[in-house]
Amino acid sequence: MKIDLTDTNSSKINKSILQARRAVGTPAVGMVLTLVIVTDEEHAYDSVKAANEASREHPSRTLVVIKRHARSPRARNEPRLDAEVRVGTDAGAGETVLLRLHGEVARRADSVVLPLLLPDAPVVVWWPVDAPDVPSRDPLGSLAQRRITDAYAVEDPLAALATRAASYAPGDTDLAWTRLTPWRSLLAAALDQARTTVTSAAVESEAENPSAELLARWFEQRLSVPVDRVVTDGPVVTAVRMGTPDGEIRIDRPEGPVAHLAIPGQPSRVMALKVRTTAELIAEELRRLDPDEAYESALRHGR
C-alpha cells in the first residue's frame, strides 16, 4: 500500500503510517530498529530496494531522506516536505517512508526525522553516497547508534579512508570493511589449518580499492608483517598471498563466485567467495550495533 502526501508534516506522516497499517491488517508495530537512508534521487531506488531486502531479516522502519534542490532562487527558499508512505508488500517486511525535502526543510532534516523514529528502538543512518566528513557530528548521524558510509562510492576512496580515520567515533563503519568479512573468515581459517608463522603478505586488487587497503592494514596490524599492494585488473580483491617458512598460502579469486585456496602440504581447495549484494552488506551491519573495534584498528593503522 502507498500513500502520497504533498506539502505535509511529520504529524500527518505518522497518522498515515497508522492508517496504512490498519488498512493492510498489521496494526501492531513489530519493527526492531529505524534505518535512516540519506541519499539523492539518483541512488534512492537502489538504496530502498537494498533496505527492503535487508528488512526481511531485520524488520525496520526505513526513512529515506532525499534533499531536493530547486532550479529557481524563489523555489529554492520555499520550505516543503513531500512524503510517500509504503506499508505491506511495497515495503519488504517493514515500513518505508520517502521524505523529499525542499528549501529550508532540507537544511533541517533532523527535525523532520526525529518525530518519525520508532520509540525505544536503535537508529542506524546509512549514506550510500555523499557522506559527511564527520558522520557522528552530522545532525542525522548524531541520532544514531550506528553510522554506515561507503568509501567505494566516492571519487577518491583512499582519501575518504583518511577522512574516516581522522573523524572516527564509536558506531562508525563502512561497507568497504563489511565487504571483507568472507575474506577475513577464510584467511583466519587458512592460518588455523597451516599452523605456521607468516613472514610477508600481499593483497592484489584493482587500483584505489578501499577494501583492499583496509585488508592490507588489517594484515599489518594483526600479523606485524609488511604487506605489498599489488594492482590487478580486478574486479575488487582478486588474491591474497602470505609467505611462510613452509611455502606460500594463497587465495585466488580472479572472477566469479568461487576462490581457490592453496596451503603448503595440502591439496588445493575451491571455496565459495562471491561478491555480495548491497542488501547482504546492510543486513550484516544491522546484526550488530556495538562499536566495531576491528574496523577501527584497521582504519587507523599506519596513521
Distance CA 302, CA 95 (A): 42
Distance CA 32, CA 95 (A): 11
Q: How confident is the model at residue 239 (pLDDT cuts 50, 70, 90)?
A: very high
Which pLDDT score is estimated for 74? 63
Question: For 34-46, how does the pLDDT look when each residue is reduced to its tens digit (9 = 90+)?
Answer: 999 999 999 999 9
Question: For 111-165, how does the pLDDT look when each residue is reduced to its tens digit (9 = 90+)?
Answer: 999 999 998 899 999 999 999 999 999 999 999 999 999 999 999 999 999 999 9
Question: For 188-218, how does the pLDDT look when each residue is reduced to its tens digit (9 = 90+)?
Answer: 989 888 888 999 999 999 999 999 999 999 9
Q: How confident is the model at residue 176 (pLDDT cuts 50, 70, 90)?
A: very high
**Buried/exposed code over 206-236 (b: 16+ C-beta within 10 A; e: otherwise):** eeebbbbbbbbbbbbbbbeeebeeeebeeeb
Q: What pTM does this model have?
A: 0.92
Which pLDDT score is estimated for 254? 84
Which pLDDT score is estimated for 172? 97
Which pLDDT score is estimated for 75? 61
Question: For 70-109, how does the pLDDT look when each residue is reduced to its tens digit (9 = 90+)?
Answer: 666 666 668 899 999 998 877 777 899 999 999 889 889 9
Distance CA 290, CA 266 (A): 38
232's grid cell: 590487478
Average pLDDT, the chain: 91
Residue 29 has pLDDT above 90, yes or no: no
Percentage of residues in the chain with pLDDT exceeding 70?
95
Compare 184 and 74 and report the one with higher pLDDT: 184
Which pLDDT score is estimated for 73? 66
Residue 28 has pLDDT above 60, yes or no: no
Can you give the three-state secondary structure of the chain, one letter per residue? CEEEECCCCHHHHHHHHHHHHHHHCCCCCCCCEEEEEEECHHHHHHHHHHHHHHCCCCCEEEEEEEECCCCCHHHHCCCEEEEEEEEHHHHCCCEEEEEEEECHHHHCHHHHHHHHCCCCCCEEEECCCCCCCCHHHCCCHHHCCEEEECHHHCCCHHHHHHHHHHHCCCCEEEHHHHCCHHHHHHHHHHHHHHCCCCCEEEEEECCCCHHHHHHHHHHHHHHCCCEEEEECCCCCEEEEEEEECCEEEEEECCCCCEEEEECCCCCCEEEECCCCCHHHHHHHHHHCCCCCHHHHHHHHCCC
Question: For 242-283, how does the pLDDT look when each residue is reduced to its tens digit (9 = 90+)?
Answer: 999 999 999 999 888 899 999 998 999 998 898 899 999 999
Residue 69 has pLDDT above 80, yes or no: no
Distance CA 78, CA 273 (A): 50
